[in-house]
Amino acid sequence: MEDNYMKIEILSKDINVLPVRIAITSFLSQENVHIDEVMDIKTALSEAVTNAVEHAYNDEKGKIDVEIHLDNNDNICIKVQDFGKGIEDVSLALIPTYTSKPESEHAGVGFNIMESLVDELVVDSKLNNGTIITMIKKINKKKN
């Protein structure tokens, strides 16, 4: 694969998670990434964007930046950044089934699914500054 990237900026509304998924599916398909790998990346990205939509800005709306980079070593790097309240305790957020909003019926497994689907997950959060979720995955399967 040659170097390539895509950047998307959305308002933190839950209806905007679907267009982000559609965009990344389309972007990766033209790069000959196998459908199984596309599905994994799409799911991990959906979790990260959902997290920002649900938790970053409380009841207000703010912006979420999504960046997808491909390099010529077949690595894909995804960055999801919000500029909201930040995560108070990242290690707590990473514990399976932990949710800061139990009333919203979150399963609390978003980060666990992200961790399982990519090779590297980094959560960089600063209180009142926002959160950056970075995920790196090596593409092993290509379309025929």
Partner 1 sequence: MKYKYLNGKLAIYLEEELDVSSCKTLRGIIDGYIMKFQPYELVLDLTDVKFMDSSGIGLILGRYNLIKLLDSKMKVINASPSIQRVLELSQIQLECVQYGR
Stretch of 3-11, 50-58, 73-81, 124-132 lying at the interface with partner 1 (CB under 8 A): 50-58
Query: Nearest CA to 9 among 87, 62, 75, 51?
Result: 62
- Tell me which of 116, 120, 122, 142 binds partner 1, using CB under 8 A: 116
Q: What is the DSSP-derived secondary structure letter of residue 85?
A: S
Q: Please, which residue, 3 or 105, has the CB nearer to partner 1?
A: 105
Query: Nearest Cα to 115, choosing from 49, 64, 59, 40?
Result: 40
Among 109, 124, 134, 136, binds partner 1 (CB under 8 A): 109
Q: Is 136 in the site for partner 1 (CB under 8 A)?
A: no
Among 112, 124, 134, 136, binds partner 1 (CB under 8 A): 112
Give dist(CA 5, CA 25) in Å, integer: 13
